[in-house]
């Protein structure tokens, strides 16, 4: 597989590991946050951590759109699913995410709700065409990468004249989240969670470009390297961060030059700007209410906005108080600090979102952490 | 039996569909059983026509296995639910190291299912049984109302015998043992997924479904002291190896580059965000044997048409936690845990 | 994490659709979010949409950089 | 097995439901199998934890039978699908005159089915198996999407052995032989119909479902030369006797007043326009034996709790057309043909 | 079972048989038609014919509302069933009756149509209540006995305010059919099918009373004995007919006095008259178009008339030309005269209505006739 | 043929409904088509509706008539 296999080469990995080992300053720690679950996944999947020097510490950020969705939004999706006139569809990732009271879309489906997994908004459009007597609600989630396909679907629904296609928008913005983390007292003032540098998202950056990171670098004086999601991309980017830190630089560097430009995909950005607008505030799991961090559908396209066309009421969401996801997502606690971890909360019966996707901090600890502790 | 005269009108295999009466215990059911199943599976034991089959078994320990098949779609590249139902149970019996001899077949038919398709499925079963050298000796047919089935569900239960020198069992993996597989991983699951609504991709991958009793016979002859054998079906390699690790109280260390995976299977998994180690197989077996006999076993496997791509993919290690680990081609190590629930295609 | 794979465009269809290929697997996707794609190009595909073309020159440069960065290392035997 | 630790959270048997993951091959499935099925059916062979069961069989001919159970409703007066699935297959094996020993159990669960109800069903199976003296030694669990099942379907396949002096088979009915039944006809079918939507009537009739291997053991001891035995399940007495008549190439003459039928069963059949001879039984057997041993057999049956109301209900006669006839209490004769399709309640 | 078992007593049957045997005139035949399938059923079920003298010949009339329904009406019911907005319900008897091209409601159900068997119109009303988003079409069939329950259901639907309950009326009138048979050239003029007397219907007469038969007796000079459906009722009624014939009488006699009065059930008759009116003509299978022999819903109740509210179009029905049902129903041919009998047409795959219900002449012959010929 | 069975009314309910009994089996039916039915009466039930009461006197007379008609016959042994 061209443009894939080259970046998974074990020999190159060993050489990069040797370079890294030689170049790190043994007198200090390098605490690097990969914001994005894609990097977390690559690190776990290929065992990248085994190749890093001991003082290079990867901190997993809140970079999974599934994990950052607050429980109330899941409840809302389930409320749509429970309507007999609605077919609720979403990406496979969302089906197991727990809402209030142990529910999930998967469980709603088991109870008889019409919930469909789709691979693409194209499939959701097809569902709408094939089920004219039902309302198709697409539970849209994702960062900047996934927003353009949703915007595109709205445009297409308009062209096709679909009257039964609705979007429940949960699209969120990466820069706001990174900024929020950097501005949190733990990071900024108290210094209890020192972060020395960032791996910048790969595919988010394909859309938004490298330009938006320049502000952070200036404002917070931490280096950012935009990195591809293949394991050699990650190792190379870590090396680039180490070099910046060693040299006292704080710049935006772009390791993923083969796909990320300075300004990103302007066509996609324009489309998103046409259809979506900023929410004044949006709730992130773990980060709380983050200003201007979420997108809603503009009034011109309100005909496709599920929240406008099919209002549902959900009782106030009850997060499980013992769930430490919020602290974990901000890098302040470890999964093993949670009382529910591995007893009440398991990948089969996740109580918090961090236990859901394989990249979730708790799920990863459940599988890999158990192993790390054992060896 | 001079019974054909009771059915003065023959089954409409062209346009007919399964009706509730085909399960009602009356003449319609009797005709379906006799003219569709009886004709396809014809053998002396089945022809006894009783509610049970009676037969002699060779000496040895008796081994029995059951599986229900509920696959969707019913027809897929490389097979259909009919031959799959034979392969699956033949394999589960044979994986004990024994010789599968007889199968039972229980059908749950959904009202409205085309008799033509049922005939295709039944003929495939008959063909697969013939090839595997087993006989379908008794059966059962139920019809459920439309909306309570999925065309056809099939249960097959198999019986066979093991000679006294064979002791293959899930708890016999020992540190130092080698782990072998007879070929490419994930073909079946990817072939099925390529047909799933919404996932639609195009791959020329065929299901690997096959009866492995011939291969297993050769393996057991070459290395009678195989410790464990099991087929990595649902949940794939990951689930099966975790099961065995748990049963034997050992760990495992796999070597990723040694695991045979087709490019198309890797490609499909990359697109869908899946891991081939969790994808189902229907013609694969995992064998665990003492290290010093691993090469002998490998050669025996490679000499058989269904083991040409056989490989040694890892070793059993000591591990009180029974973790299954994988040394990646990249140079790191990761845990291959069981999946939580089903593997779902994902976007992130 | 935004799962997206670099895939080769093997055929451009009507309505901004295309067939891409990865490891011998083919899939129909939308080119609605990108411009000037022709068969032979590699694109990054996410949830059924191409998000960008791969810049072959930059790809080669990145590979070269691996060499550059590790030129003094040798692989452990 | 030190495996319990793998499931840190126990099954929610109070509010939980079957989810797709319970059939996915992962840890959820493994837990369900171990904690629900494994605990209920616990025995040494099942505990081997392999995909197949291995065991020794006593000498003799081996007998094997399979049935899938798709009953609706799942719970009914006198039983549920769980014990029914055990009784049915125990009986089909035992009716050969053999001793049923081991069962397999294959479950097809519908997404959303309450685990609580599944537990009740599984416990009933375990209890029925214990009472019948058989072991459930291997199994299989599949989960189908909601709308593709009916709560639970169960396949059981049974195995047993017959001693060499027994030759019971459907083609051995001979003119002059007597036909016996072990009790009231139609109880099961009427108990089920009383719960069917739209038919709703109230009757205190319970399903007769029961394992008959004890009774059969006594019968075979008393009269080893029983010619035919079969249970009149779907299609009732009529279907079973027609089958046997056809297999043996004989006719039959029943005597209506000798057939034990409860008033309530007659009443329900009158209301619905049905004939009790076509109504299903699940704890009844028909036995055919030489005339001179009929009284001996009858007494052996009546001495067993499940044969108290046993009766000789007719004779085998010569008939090239293999008609089953009935001498009515009214004084006439009629043919008891197979039913065409299912028996439907009717108004005219 | 009181009022049941008394009429099934074998000892009394033998005595009645002996009386009959003694009283019949050996020099003549007694050709008696039981119009009603209920009598046919009793005769088969209890083996009554075994107890009759050889010269008493029972001729099975067209007295089964299932058998007399023309194929076009079945096609119509299936057309309703095939509509996705319709749940079609009917009595169990109708499900296997063949329409054109080998279809039936049972087969339509197997193909995915929503077809429900009901025991009573009460169940049909319940279906309508429980499925407010579907149209419930009740395929109503039957003689005078079954019409009042349909009328009652319409009244109840009106009271309950149901807007989704519709009747496809196929109710027919017994007297018109008997008259049609008696007026047919075969019976009246040609004398090829001589009929000496009639067993009058039991439960039809419960509703209409014995009075309507007086006209026939006068007009056609054949005795009629209204008879219960239990086997002793039938034997006693046959004896009463034999006595009338022996004595040269032609009167209406009522053997079923315990349930049938002179004027019948006036409450039921009034209800039917309120809701139904005569069709100018209705097609009977076997009898052709019979004037004033069927009932349709009056205009005041057209809201419940499926034919008015949900018009469906069905192509002209094609009866299988080789099917001899028409002649058989009029007593002119025997099932074995049909080329399809027992080869193409069997109870499992009936091609004509006479093969459907156990009382149908062809079905009876298939089971019992085979036996009669064999012994 | 109009299947209808004589059944005993065991309970009269609201809305013209009643519970009848036959051979120990009970069923809820409608009395909407008949008048003056009280528990203990026998009614002829067809498709869930009572069509008429059974006249007990006439029933006894019919039974008596059987005797009358056959008084000279004896049952074959
Ligand atoms: S273990 Fe579960 S409950 Fe605890 S923090 Fe993680 S997701 Fe939340
Ligand atoms: S045998 Fe069939 S086709 Fe022939 S007359 Fe009878 S019903 Fe019609
Ligand atoms: Mg819904
Ligand atoms: Mg198995
Ligand atoms: Mg298996
Ligand atoms: Mg069976
Ligand atoms: Mg297996
Ligand atoms: Mg069986
Ligand atoms: Mg059985
Ligand atoms: Mg299995
Ligand atoms: Mg049986
Ligand atoms: Mg319909």
Closest among A370, A363, A315, A290 to A101, alpha carbons compared: A315
Probe site for chain F from D193, D200, D270, D345 (most F CB atoms < 10 A): D270
Please tell me the distance in Å from E335's CA to the nearest CA on chain B. Answer: 15
Give, for all 348 residues of chain D, the pLDDT tens digit.
333 345 567 888 998 999 998 998 888 898 899 999 999 999 999 998 899 999 999 999 999 999 999 999 999 999 999 999 999 999 999 999 999 999 999 999 999 999 999 999 999 999 999 999 999 999 999 999 999 999 999 999 999 999 999 999 999 999 999 999 999 999 999 999 998 877 778 888 999 999 999 999 999 999 999 999 999 999 999 999 999 999 999 999 999 999 999 999 999 999 988 999 999 999 999 999 999 999 999 999 999 999 999 999 999 999 998 999 999 999 999 889 887 767 777 777
Probe site for chain D from F2, F4, F24 (most D CB atoms < 10 A): F24
pLDDT band at residue A176, thresholds of 50, 70 and 90? confident
Angle at B166 (CA atoms; ends B162, B171), nearest 5 degrees: 110
The CATH number corresponding to A30-310+318-366 among 2.60.40.1890, 3.40.50.11740, 3.40.50.300, 3.90.226.10 equals 3.40.50.11740
Chain mean position to CA A353: 12
| Average pLDDT value for residue range A276-293 | 89
- Tell me the chain D residues in contact with residue A346 when contact means C-beta distances shorter than 8 Å: 8-9
pLDDT score for A193: 66
* Rounded Cα distance, B95 and B211, in Å: 11
| pLDDT above 60: residue B6 | no
- Contacts B–C by Cβ distance under 8 A: 46
What is the ipTM, given to two decimal places?
0.92
| pLDDT above 50: residue B53 | yes
| pLDDT above 60: residue E190 | no
Closest among D33, D96, D103, D101 to D66, alpha carbons compared: D103
Range name among A213-227, B76-90, E180-194, E267-281 with the lowest pLDDT average: E180-194
What are the CA-CA distances from residue B190 to residues B80, B138, D23, E312, F6 (Å)? 15, 33, 18, 47, 64
Determine whether the shortest distance from the Cβ of A354 to ligand 1 is under 6 A.
yes
* Chains B and F in direct contact, meaning 3 or more beta-carbon pairs closer than 8 angstroms: no
Instruction: Tell me if A142 and C33 make a contact (CB, 8 A cut-off).
Output: no
* Rounded Cα distance, B286 and B95, in Å: 9
pLDDT score for E188: 58
- Tell me the chain B residues in contact with residue E344 when contact means C-beta distances shorter than 8 Å: 9
pLDDT score for A343: 82
Q: Please indicate if any CB of chain E lies within 8 Å of the CB of B19.
A: yes
Task: Name residues of chain C where pLDDT drops below 50.
Answer: 1
Instruction: Tell me if E206 and F69 make a contact (CB, 8 A cut-off).
Output: no
* Chains C and A in direct contact, meaning 3 or more beta-carbon pairs closer than 8 angstroms: yes
**Residue in A closest to B264 by C-alpha:** A1
Instruction: Tell me if B348 and C24 make a contact (CB, 8 A cut-off).
Output: no
Asked if residues A130 and A303 have their Cβ atoms less than 8 Å apart, the reply is no
Specify which residues D294 forms β-bridges with: none
Range name among A70-84, E115-129, E348-362 with the lowest pLDDT average: E348-362
Query: Cβ neighbours of residue A61 under 8 Å, at least 6 residues apart?
Result: A33, A34, A35, A36, A178, A181, A329, A331
pLDDT score for B3: 36
User: What is the residue with the minimal CA distance to atom 3 of ligand 1?
Assistant: A323
* Rounded Cα distance, E196 and D232, in Å: 45
* Rounded Cα distance, D21 and A111, in Å: 14
For residue D51, report the distance from its CA to the centre of ligand 10, in Å.
7
Determine whether the shortest distance from the Cβ of A324 to ligand 1 is under 6 A.
yes
Probe site for chain A from C2, C24, C58 (most A CB atoms < 10 A): C2
pLDDT score for B4: 36
H helix and E strand count, chain D: 9, 14
Determine whether the shortest distance from the Cβ of A352 to ligand 1 is under 6 A.
yes
Across the interface, of E123, E259, E359, the residue whose CB is closest to F52 is E259
Q: Please indicate if any CB of chain E lies within 8 Å of the CB of B169.
A: no
**Residue in C closest to A156 by C-alpha:** C32
* Rounded Cα distance, B68 and E357, in Å: 38
pLDDT score for E126: 96
Instruction: Tell me if E111 and B19 make a contact (CB, 8 A cut-off).
Output: no
Probe site for chain D from E49, E94, E353, E371 (most D CB atoms < 10 A): E371
Return the ligand number nearest the Cα of B142.
6
User: What's the alpha-carbon Rg for chain C, to the nearest Å?
Assistant: 16
Closest among A161, A242, A260, A167 to A197, alpha carbons compared: A242
Determine whether the shortest distance from the Cβ of A323 to ligand 1 is under 6 A.
yes
Where do the domains of chain F lie, and which CATH numbers do they carry? Answer: 5-75 (2.30.30.140)
Range name among A83-97, E92-106, E181-195, E310-324 with the lowest pLDDT average: E181-195
Closest among D146, B142, B111, B108 to E109, alpha carbons compared: B111
Looking at the CA of residue E320, tell me the nearest atom of ligand 2.
3
Share of chain D above pLDDT 90, in %: 84
pLDDT score for F76: 57
As given in the structure block, the two tokens for residue D244 are 């046997």
Tokens 């002699």, residue? B56
pLDDT score for A374: 40
Where do the domains of chain B lie, and which CATH numbers do they carry? Answer: 20-162 (3.30.1330.10), 178-335 (3.90.650.10)
* Rounded Cα distance, A323 and A351, in Å: 7
pLDDT band at residue B56, thresholds of 50, 70 and 90? very high
As given in the structure block, the two tokens for residue D286 are 């028909």
Q: Please indicate if any CB of chain B lies within 8 Å of the CB of A354.
A: no
pLDDT score for D65: 98
Asked if residues D205 and D86 have their Cβ atoms less than 8 Å apart, the reply is no
pLDDT band at residue A168, thresholds of 50, 70 and 90? very high
Q: Residues lining ligand 2, judged by CB closer than 6 Å?
A: E 323-325, 328, 335, 338, 340-341, 345, 350-352, 354-355, 362
CA D221, D226, D230, D232 torsion-angle sign = negative
- DSSP tag of D77: T
pLDDT score for E375: 37
Q: How many CA atoms lie within 13 A of E42 on its CB side?
A: 31
Closest among D53, D105, D3 to B244, alpha carbons compared: D3
- Tell me the chain D residues in contact with residue A112 when contact means C-beta distances shorter than 8 Å: 112, 146
Please tell me the distance in Å from F18's CA to the nearest CA on chain E. Answer: 13
**pTM for the whole structure:** 0.93
Q: Which residue has the higher pLDDT, B58 or E289?
A: B58
Determine whether the shortest distance from the Cβ of A98 to ligand 1 is under 6 A.
no
* Rounded Cα distance, E104 and E350, in Å: 10
Strands (E) across chain A are located at 30-36, 56-63, 86-91, 115-118, 135-142, 165-171, 197-200, 224-226, 252-254, 276-278, 281-284, 288-291, 295-297
- Tell me the chain F residues in contact with residue E233 when contact means C-beta distances shorter than 8 Å: 62
Q: Please indicate if any CB of chain A lies within 8 Å of the CB of D94.
A: no
User: What is the residue with the minimal CA distance to atom 7 of ligand 1?
Assistant: A352
pLDDT in tens, E49-62: 999 999 999 888 77
Determine whether the shortest distance from the Cβ of A71 to ligand 1 is under 6 A.
no
Pocket test for ligand 2, best of E335, E349, E360, E365 (most atoms within 8 A of CB): E335
Please tell me the distance in Å from C58's CA to the nearest CA on chain B. Answer: 23
* Chains D and E in direct contact, meaning 3 or more beta-carbon pairs closer than 8 angstroms: yes
Share of chain B above pLDDT 70, in %: 97
| Average pLDDT value for residue range E150-171 | 97
pLDDT score for A344: 83
pLDDT in tens, D135-177: 999 999 999 999 999 999 999 999 999 999 999 999 999 999 9
Please tell me the distance in Å from D26's CA to the nearest CA on chain B. Answer: 5
Asked if residues B88 and B282 have their Cβ atoms less than 8 Å apart, the reply is yes
User: What is the residue with the minimal CA distance to atom 7 of ligand 2?
Assistant: E352
- Burial grade of A26 (CB within 10 A; 0-12, 13-18, 19 or more): exposed
The neighbours of chain A, by the rule of 3 or more Cβ pairs under 8 Å, are B, C, D
Q: What is the DSSP string of D323-348?
A: -EEEE-TTS-EEE-PPPSS-------
pLDDT band at residue E25, thresholds of 50, 70 and 90? very high
* Rounded Cα distance, F50 and F41, in Å: 11
Please tell me the distance in Å from A231's CA to the nearest CA on chain B. Answer: 8
pLDDT band at residue A187, thresholds of 50, 70 and 90? low
For residue D340, report the distance from its CA to the centre of ligand 2, in Å.
15
Instruction: Tell me if A18 and C8 make a contact (CB, 8 A cut-off).
Output: no
Q: Please indicate if any CB of chain E lies within 8 Å of the CB of F41.
A: no
pLDDT band at residue B1, thresholds of 50, 70 and 90? very low
Give, for all 77 residues of chain F, the pLDDT tens digit.
478 999 999 999 999 999 999 999 999 999 999 999 999 999 999 999 999 999 999 999 999 999 888 887 776 55
Instruction: Tell me if E36 and F1 make a contact (CB, 8 A cut-off).
Output: yes
């Amino acid at each position: 597989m061209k443009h894939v296999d080259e970046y998974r080469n074990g020999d190159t990995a060993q050489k990069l590991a040797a370079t890294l080992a030689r170049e790190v300053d043994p007198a200090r720690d390098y605490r690097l946050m990969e914001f994005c679950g894609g990097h977390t996944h690559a690190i776990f999947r290929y065992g990248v951590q085994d190749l890093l020097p001991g003082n290079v510490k990867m901190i997993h950020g809140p970079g999974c759109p599934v994990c950052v969705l607050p429980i109330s939004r899941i409840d809302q999706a389930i409320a749509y699913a429970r309507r007999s006139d609605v077919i609720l569809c979403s990406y496979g990732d969302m089906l197991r995410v727990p809402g209030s009271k142990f529910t999930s879309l998967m469980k709603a489906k088991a109870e008889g709700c019409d919930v469909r997994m789709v691979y693409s908004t194209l499939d959701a459009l097809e569902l709408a065409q094939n089920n004219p007597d039902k309302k198709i609600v697409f539970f849209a989630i994702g960062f900047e990468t996934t927003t353009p396909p949703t915007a595109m679907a709205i445009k297409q629904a308009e062209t096709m004249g679909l009257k039964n296609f609705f979007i429940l928008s949960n699209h969120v913005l990466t820069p706001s989240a990174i900024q929020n983390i950097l501005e949190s007292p733990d990071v900024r003032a108290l210094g209890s969670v020192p972060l020395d540098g960032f791996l910048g998202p790969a595919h988010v950056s394909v859309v938004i470009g490298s330009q938006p990171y320049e502000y952070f670098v200036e404002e917070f004086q931490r280096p950012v390297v935009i990195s591809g999601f293949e394991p050699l991309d990650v190792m190379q980017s870590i090396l680039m961060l180490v070099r910046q830190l060693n040299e006292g630089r704080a710049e935006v560097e772009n390791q993923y030059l083969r796909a990320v430009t300075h300004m990103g995909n302007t066509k996609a950005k324009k489309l998103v700007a046409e259809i979506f607008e900023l929410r004044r505030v949006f709730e992130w799991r773990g980060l709380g209410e983050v200003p201007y961090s979420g997108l809603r559908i503009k009034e011109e396209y309100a005909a496709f906005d599920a929240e406008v066309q099919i209002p549902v009421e959900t009782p106030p969401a009850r997060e499980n108080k013992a769930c430490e996801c919020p602290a974990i997502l901000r890098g302040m606690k470890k999964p093993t600090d949670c009382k529910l971890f591995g007893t009440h909360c398991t990948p089969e019966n996740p109580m918090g979102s961090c236990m859901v996707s394989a990249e979730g901090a708790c799920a990863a600890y459940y599988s890999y952490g158990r192993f790390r502790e054992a060896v | 039996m001079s019974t054909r005269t009771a059915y003065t009108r023959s089954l409409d295999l062209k346009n007919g569909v399964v009706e509730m009466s085909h399960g009602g215990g009356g003449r319609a059911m009797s005709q379906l059983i006799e003219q569709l199943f009886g004709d396809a599976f014809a053998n002396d034991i089945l022809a006894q026509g009783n509610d049970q089959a009676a037969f002699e078994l060779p000496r040895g320990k008796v081994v029995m296995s059951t599986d229900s098949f509920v696959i969707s779609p019913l027809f897929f590249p490389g097979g259909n639910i009919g031959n799959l139902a034979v392969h699956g149970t033949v394999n589960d019996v044979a994986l004990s190291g024994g010789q599968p001899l007889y199968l039972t077949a229980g059908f749950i038919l959904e009202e409205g299912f085309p008799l033509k398709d049922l005939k295709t499925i039944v003929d495939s079963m008959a063909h697969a049984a013939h090839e595997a050298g087993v006989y379908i000796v008794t059966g059962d047919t139920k019809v459920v109302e439309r909306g309570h089935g999925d065309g056809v569900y099939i249960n097959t239960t198999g019986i066979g015998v093991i000679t006294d020198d064979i002791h293959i069992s899930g708890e016999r993996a020992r540190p130092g043992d080698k782990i072998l597989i007879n070929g490419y991983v994930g073909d079946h699951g990817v072939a099925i997924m390529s047909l799933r609504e919404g996932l639609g991709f195009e791959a020329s991958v065929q299901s690997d479904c096959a009866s492995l009793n011939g291969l297993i016979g050769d393996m057991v002859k070459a290395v009678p002291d195989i410790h464990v054998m099991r087929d990595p079906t649902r949940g794939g390699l990951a689930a099966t190896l975790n099961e065995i690790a748990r049963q034997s109280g050992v760990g495992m260390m796999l070597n990723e580059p040694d695991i045979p995976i087709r490019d198309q299977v890797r490609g499909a998994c990359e697109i869908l965000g899946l891991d081939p180690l969790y994808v189902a197989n229907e013609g694969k077996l995992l064998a665990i044997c003492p290290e010093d006999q691993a090469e002998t076993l490998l050669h025996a496997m490679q000499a058989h048409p269904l083991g040409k791509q056989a490989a040694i993919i890892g070793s059993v290690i000591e591990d009180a936690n029974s973790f299954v680990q994988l040394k990646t081609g990249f140079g790191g190590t990761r845990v291959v845990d069981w999946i939580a629930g089903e593997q779902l295609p994902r976007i992130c | 994490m935004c799962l997206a794979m670099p895939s080769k465009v093997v055929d451009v269809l009507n309505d901004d659709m295309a067939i891409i290929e990865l490891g011998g697997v083919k899939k129909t996707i939308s080119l609605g979010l990108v411009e000037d794609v022709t068969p032979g190009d590699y694109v990054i595909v996410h949830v059924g949409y191409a998000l960008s073309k791969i810049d072959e020159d930059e790809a080669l440069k990145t590979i070269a950089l691996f060499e550059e960065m590790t030129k003094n290392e040798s692989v452990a035997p």
